[in-house]
Amino acid sequence: MTRAGKLALLLIALTVALAAVLMVGIAFFMIGGPAPSGPRPVLAVSLGGPLPENRSPGPLEEIFGRGGPSLREILEGIDQARKDPKIEGLLLEVDSAPGWAQTEEVRAALEAFSAEGKWSVAFTESAGSAGAYYLATACQQVILAPPGEVGLYGLRAETPFLRGLFDKLRIQPQMAQRKEFKNAADIYMRRDYSPAHRQAMNSLLGAIFEDLVGGIARARELTDERVRELVDQGPFLASEALDASLVDRLAYKDEVLDEIKQRVGQEKPFIRIEEYLRHHRAHRSRGPGIALIYAVGTIARGESDQQPLGGTMVGSKTIIRALREARDDDSIKAVVLRIDSPGGSYVASDLMRREIVLTREKKPVIASMGNVAASGGYFIAMQTDHILADRGTITGSIGVLSGKLVTGRFWREVTGINFSGIQIGENADMYSSLEPFDEEGWKRLNTILDTIYADFVGKAAEGRSMSFDQLEPLAHGRVWTGSQALERGLIDEIGGLTRALEIAAERAGFDAEQSYRLLVLPHPPGLMDMLRRRRGLVLASELPASLIDLAQVMQVLERTSGECYLYAADLPRIR
């Protein structure tokens, strides 16, 4: 046999061997792996920052690296353990907190766990932020490592304003927005907060702070006044936190683990929530069920996508296809639309809204809002049957903006590159980034914005059973917390994903204890999609969050050039 022939046989053999390994791995993870040996009565949950709303459960992701659990898995695991007589207690290890709304959902699950008569312990090496400490206080006991601290020192929101940079680069931002609270373009147009922008941000911070104070006060058996006093004294060294009754005691992790082992009388009592879920799924694999459709990311026309800098795009075609699949499947009795989006393209938002209206004609559609469901994110929720948000969810922002960054001087005076253009049609250069809007172009843009704003308000009023004049004062581009939105009739109920699924099950006609199938849409990506996504996440991890946010907005502008945007007013980066 020739050398080339031997090499070919070797490659074939390696390919077959790799395929065999993959098939074994797939089979292993599809059946959930071997059952855990012996009873392990303590559920172990670790939280270290933002939680993905959903994570592909496919076997390929299992093989190539799971990553951490998603929010849904955390909630499902804690809820299953709450009802499981074999689980005695829970150990929560907190490094940092996810977004405010996600934190509230996990806190609610932990509180329900304790209400079942089971014990819970939170351990943190150092609760460096108010959110991390707030999350830990949901447990019956809070333990802090001796060198750690409690970062209870208030809330701060920071916004990058880019006008000074653009001036230096000779870039002229030309943006129009409806109305005074629609601040998303302010980061390009201004050097500081406008009065309306500052008012909205103070209102958001104040509402979240009140929830923070009230939750800590109830959990630690302190008065609200005492918690406010402590906030102004923080951050706290470990000994100071103990003296102030913010934590129950100081201990290292090995000491905490040893004490729990003694408490339950086992050397290996812990089962990680990821492993627990492999053998304690809450939902059936077939039969009648509920569709859970995720709309997570910035809204754009086309297919959903993972952007190179780590941002996700909610593609209208992808979500429409998921809604049609759920609508046409007779075994699906209700739909939950889970939204975590600051908005994006007006066209894409309205296309999805229309599909939601059509789906409602056949089966109930419940909207569940995550950390953010604002502007276009609110647009796709506003005509569902029932809207839920957490107290800290950022929602509303009923308004519109559009415009462009004029870069002609940048190219000519900074880079020396000169662009020339030839056109047919008076307004062919309207959205060109090289020249500013002329008088007629600017007038036309504002006419379009007025029309879209009226359309947004009118459809929101219809969805919320209000008149146009009743809803319009609640619009003006202003963002609200979930609590504020409930007071104003923009949502129906405070609650998270777990509660949304309960309502969907009720409206689908399922009994309270009846198990049902959960169809998660859109379907998990293929292998190449996952590999491409991982590459993007590696890049994103090397960049400051503010640059990722800016990059995501610029990607939407590039992808939907010439459109108007239902994009939320400045979203507070609270710490």
Q: Which residue has the tokens 């060198």?
A: 147
Contacts of residue 469, Cβ cutoff 8 Å, sequence gap at least 6: none
Q: Which residue has the tokens 């809070």?
A: 142
Burial class (CB in 10 A: 0-12, 13-18, 19+), 388: buried
Please tell me the number of Cα atoms within 13 Å of 125 on its side-chain side.
Answer: 7
Task: Return d(Cα 402, Cα 562) in angstroms, integer.
Answer: 8
Q: What angle do CA 124, 127, 129 make, to 5 degrees?
A: 155
- Would you call 375 a catalytic residue per the annotation? yes
Which amino acid, residue 388? L
Cα–Cα nearest to 238, from 122, 136, 143: 143
How many C-beta atoms surround the C-beta of residue 240 within 10 A? 16
3-state secondary structure of 44: strand
Task: Return d(Cα 149, Cα 54) in angstroms, integer.
Answer: 32
Beta strand 400-406 with 479-481: parallel, antiparallel or unpaired? unpaired
Q: Are 360 and 328 in contact (CB under 8 A)?
A: no
3-state secondary structure of 142: strand
List the alpha helices (DSSP H) in 84-223: 100-115, 130-136, 163-169, 186-189, 195-220
Contacts of residue 316, Cβ cutoff 8 Å, sequence gap at least 6: 299, 300, 301, 302, 345, 347, 348, 349, 351, 352
3-state secondary structure of 325: helix
Which member of 304, 316, 341, 375 is catalytic?
A: 375
Q: Are 565 and 178 in contact (CB under 8 A)?
A: no
DSSP-assigned letter for residue 524: P
Q: Is the peptide bond before 522 cis (omega within 30 degrees of 0)?
A: yes
What is the crossing angle of helices 195-220 and 100-115, to 10°?
Answer: 20
Structure tokens at 77: 């695991």
Q: Are 306 and 536 in contact (CB under 8 A)?
A: yes
Phi-psi region of 455 (alpha: psi -120 to 50; beta: other; left: phi over 0): alpha
State the sign of the Cα–Cα–Cα–Cα dihedral 239, 241, 244, 247.
Answer: negative
Query: Where in the sequence numbering do the catalytic residues fall?
Result: 375
